[in-house]
Structure 1
Amino acid sequence: MPTPSRRVPIPLLVLILATASLAAPAAPKAPAPPPKPKGLDRAQLAEELRKLADAPALRRARVSVAVMDLSTGEGLFDSNGDQPLIVASNNKLVTTAAALELLGPDFEFRTTVSACGKVLTNGVLDGDLLLVGRGDPSLSGRFHQGKTTAVLEEWAAAVAQAGIKSVRGGIVVDETYFDRQHLHPGWPPNQFQAWYSAPVSALTFNDNCVFVTVRPGARPGDTAIASTDPPTSYVDLVTTCRTTKARLGGNQVLVSRRKGENRLTISGEIRAQGAPLQMWITIHEPALYTGTVFAEVLEAKGIRVGGPVRLLAPPQRIEPAAARELITTTSLLKDAVTVANRNSHNLYAELMLKTLGREKGGQGTWVAGAGVVEKFLRDAGVTGAISYFDGSGLARTNRFSARQLVQLLGYANGRRWGALYLRSLAEPGEGTLSRRLDSLKGHLFAKTGYIAGASALSGYLETRAKRLLAFSILVNDFRSALADVRDAQDAICLKLAEYSGAE
């Protein structure tokens, strides 16, 4: 006979089940693993960069690469990082950092116009006008809506406001703030007429160049029409260039100047239907150029200058009491830094270097300026041998390693002027990066550099993970096309942007 089952009342069953659930809680869930960081960790980045540093375009070249994470101060990658190489215009990174540190962003370049002599009752200045230059690079149309003579017209207005209607003497130009070595001995001797080799003077106007335009004549066979901006008698235009009836092909126009002269010879052929040829050509004796154009501006305003434009040559000097200041125009160092870095303007960098020499080394010379900059680099913690000779990097004797430039960039990032320095560098789509690395716009701030056989790219890069890196990629003695070398440098930058910050 089967044993009868024992029935449990329903309320008791609920109590038993509830008690059991309290006595035996469920095991806690394991914590979810942290999300895997996006991008490349440090080891992955180094591996990718090693591959890119061995790209076909860089093989058989000398390459120096260094990268630092500025949030930690640690090096992320180094390939031949201590190898000194030609850095070309990356030299401007050094020059502008030294200028910002030692002179300050608000340092003023000053140019003064004074009257030497008495102004007679009939408005005649019984003496000379004196122009004193102190290294101002901005006496051009660059900051004046493209009007080349805008500053000189301000000077002329000040002369008129002083009651001067004519000048019995001439215009004396004083460039003694610097020495008279206008061309650096390390620059290519056959490139003196190119804008990037402009002579360096304490009294500088229009980048010490004229802007030459050559247009076809009215009919085939006619002589081409040449002009300059500013229009000036300081240069002598000799044109043998002929207008041709050719419909296709480029113009074959040559504009040349002999060293030590201001005679421009325009030869060759230009198509009747062709576009004008335009180019910048340097001039000889910048201070005399400035004074001559100023005299022409005065004449155009109805103020006649009776005497010649002449240099104030040591040991000649004019006592301050003998000169009555009419106007002083100024420009700021921080604006010059932006032009030097973003547009890679050589003359701006050289004027800064000689100003450093004058203000901090006692002499407005390349040698004094270089000594000041070398001391700055040592104080900034840059290690290793330093070979620094000019401000722009046009001299092939300048040498830095990628590691040294990264040390400098790291130092600059911690200074009060660091943000201004970073913003002075080109971004993709502007300046010397106008056609490079568009996808990194707003995240890359860099200085390019090129002279024959040397290509450089150094600066700052913000990664997708918001890490700020300092980097330098120097390439010398390459045998590939320059475009291929730049592509290889750009590929390294694009890979740097993928760094996550993870170990």
Structure 2
Amino acid sequence: MPTATVTGLFELRVHNRNQGVGRRSLAMLLAVATLLLLAPLAQAQPLAQELQRLMNSARLGDTRLGIIIIDADTSEVLASHNEGDAFIPASNMKLLTSGAALAILGPDFTFRTELLHAGDALIVRGSGDPAFADPRLLRDMQLGVEEIIQTWTRAAADAGVTGITELILDDRIFDDDWVHPSWPVEQLNRWYCAEVYGLNFHANVLSVYVSPTRPGMSPTVRTQPEAPWLNIGNIARTVTDGQNTIWVSRAAGTNSMRLHGNVRQTAERPIEVAVHDMPGIFGRLLAEELERAGVGRPSVRRAAPDEMLPQGKPIALVQTPMRVVMERCNTDSHNLYAEALIKRMGHELTGRPGSWSTGAAAIRMVMQEKLNPRHAADVVIADGSGMSRQNRVTPQMIAQWLLALARDEEIRTALEESLPIPAESGTLRRRFGDTELRHTLRAKTGYLSGVTSLSGYLWDENSGRRIVFSILVNEVPSTMPMRRVRDFQEQVVSIADQWLARATLAEVVNGE
């Protein structure tokens, strides 16, 4: 039977994150040497004193700060504050998840979603791939979600498959706990709280596009993917003044949705609503397309927990390389990607359906191998993305984790390439725009209400000398502008950058 293979579908261009902010020549270094030699070369002012000065002037009130800066070459702690205290990490949790995934699954790991033919049935076998028909990746490749479904349908028709009566969805690689119990119930309609399945599709969200009509009338609504049987109650109104205030609610555990707010103009971006049972939605969409193509009129069902399915003959395949998953996880801080990684690690560890608990055990196992065992004992791992407020880490543990990962060149390269570029990409696109850094920075941000975090690497492109840092901030008052706290984080990175410049210059002058 002929096989249609859709490989590399989500292999997007990967930014060359190894490019620094510019290579400085030896002449440039020596040109400023006379200024820096007026004080001890590597310590024009001790970094700890600089940090204390920043904290004294930051006007952060009762905000809890946890900070550590380490010289990766010597493992010396250059400056610290409350580095051993436990903090909610927010999305800095993704550093643990993605780093452990590189250690357990490997940088060359590939997620696979397969369409198989067995008798009068077609089987869709998921591997937990979070990128399968991800709307962001589809936009980047100028593809529509319908094209994915049509490609699979054509593959079945071209293979001569007919008389299909059943479409079986095999998502048993993960357990049936699709929503973490500690995620905020009032936010389960948001894309960042999407349910987690062994068969993910379209990032498990419905893209809702809204356009105005006549003033006072309901706006028009269309969705991607098109699923007319998913009803969205429309209580929004078209207006002529003000801004768009539209949003979509969804009752937890259902697909009962409502469109709220005012629509003045067509929105540039869709509203992405996390839906319930996306595998079932995908199955119905695929079954309808199979029927239109004359392949059959299949009913759709999930594979039973202990059901022995036939191996089947391959019809179509979508593969997603680890680097794409890592980039969406860390550059874009997409929660579904981190949750898919933690559950997939749980499956690799146990051979059973991956869960949050087995995934947490897998992360803890890697931490015990790479760190002091007490760090693994101190960490509290609730989920993979940091959406849960039950997660707990210490700045010292995060920094030591980054330090340990940096010792493995293959893992270090993959991790660094997955992190955003300041003032250019991902969650750092609007950060460090007014901060002139001399060295290459790659860091992971994190945000929850009252929480902001920033941890990562800072290194010299010429010498390779490196700093690791972690800045965790909790209990930010609701009255305090979060911009003030983020400015403080950027200032901490800036003084670390200045220290690294002095230390690098000292090595050059001393001929080290």
State the secondary structure of the residue aligned to 1:222.
coil
Residue 475 (structure 1) aligns with: 473
- Distance change in 2, residues 1:274/1:367 (3 Å): closer
The one of 250, 255, 262 equivalent to 1:257 is 250
Q: Which residue of 2 aligns with 1:28?
A: none
Per-residue deviation, residues 128-174 of structure 1 (Å, max 9, x unmatched): 2111111111211444414242443332232122112x544132111
1:21 equivalent in structure 2: none
Match of 1:288 in 2: 280
Aligned to 2:510: none
Measured in 2, the distance between the counterparts of 1:153 and 1:488 equals 50
Distance verdict in 2 for CA 1:193–1:167, change over 3 Å? farther
Partner secondary structure for residue 388 of structure 1: coil
1:403 aligns with 2:390: no
1:92 matched to 2:90? The reply is no
Q: Which amino acid aligns with 1:199?
A: E
- What does residue 101 of structure 1 align with? 103
Q: How far off its partner does 1:393 sit?
A: 0.5
TM-score in terms of structure 2 length: 0.83
| 1:347 paired residue among 333, 336, 340 | 336
Shift of 1:283: 1.0
Q: Which residue of 2 aligns with 1:461?
A: 458
Q: Does 1:198 align with 2:194?
A: yes
Q: Which moved more, 1:308-317 or 1:204-213?
A: 308-317
Aligned equivalent of 1:279 = 271
| Secondary structure in 2 matching 1:82 | coil
SS at match of 2:456: strand
Q: Quick check: 1:221 aligned with 2:212?
A: no
CA contact (8 A) 2:287 2:299 kept: no
CA distance in 2, matches of 1:132, 1:195: 24
Residue 238 of structure 1 deviates from its aligned partner by 2.4
Distance 2:417 2:252 in 1: 38
Q: Equivalent residue for 2:129?
A: 136
Asked if the contact 2:287–2:297 (Cα under 8 Å) also holds between the matched residues in 1, the reply is no
Note closer, same or farther for the CA distance 1:234–1:318 as it changes in structure 2 (3 Å cut): farther
- Report deviation, 1:109: 1.1
1:331 paired residue number: 320
Name the larger-Rg structure.
1
SS of structure 2 residue aligned to 1:58: coil
In structure 1, the residue matched to 2:486 is 486
Letter in 1 for 2:421: E
Relative to the length of structure 1, the TM-score reads 0.85
In the alignment, structure 1 residue 298 sits paired with structure 2 residue 290: yes
SS in 1 for 2:165: coil
Residue of structure 1 in register with 2:349 after alignment: 360
Structure 2: gaps of 5 or more residues: 1-32, 508-512
Q: Is the 8 A contact 1:464 1:497 kept in 2?
A: no
Residues 1:176 and 2:165 are matched in the alignment: no
Q: Work out the CA distance in 2 between the residues paired with 1:132 and 1:311.
A: 10
Contact 2:66 2:471 in 1 (8 A): yes
Q: Secondary structure at the match of 2:445?
A: strand
From 307, 310, 315, the counterpart of 1:319: 310
SS of alignment partner, residue 51 of structure 1? helix
Q: CA RMSD in A?
A: 2.3
User: Contact between 1:463 and 1:469, CA under 8 Å: does it hold in 2?
Assistant: no
**Percent identity over the alignment?**
32
CA displacement, residues 35-58 of structure 1 (integer Å, 9 cap, x when unaligned): 564786175322111121334343
Contact 2:66 2:472 in 1 (8 A): yes
After TM superposition, list the pairs within 5 Å mapping 1:95-174 onto structure 2.
95-117=97-119, 127-140=120-133, 141-144=135-138, 145-149=141-145, 150-164=147-161, 166-174=162-170
Q: Describe the SS at the equivalent of 2:186.
A: helix
Residue 307 (1) aligns with residue 302 (2): no
CA contact (8 A) 1:427 1:442 kept: no
Aligned positions of 1:430-445 closer than 5 A: 430-438=425-433, 439-440=436-437, 443-445=440-442
Question: Which residue is 2:368 aligned to?
Answer: 378
Q: CA deviation at 1:299?
A: 4.8
Query: Residue in 1 aligned with 2:26?
Result: none
After TM superposition, give the deviation of residue 88 of structure 1 in Å: 0.3
Structure 1 runs not aligned, ≥5 long: 1-33, 118-126
- Deviations for 1:187-246, whole angstroms, at most 9, x for unmatched residues? 1121111000000000000100011111111x22332100111112452222232323x3
Name the SS of the counterpart of 2:117 in structure 1.
strand
Change (3 A) 1:189 1:252: same
CA contact (8 A) 2:116 2:314 kept: yes
Tell me by how many angstroms 1:92 deviates. Answer: 0.3
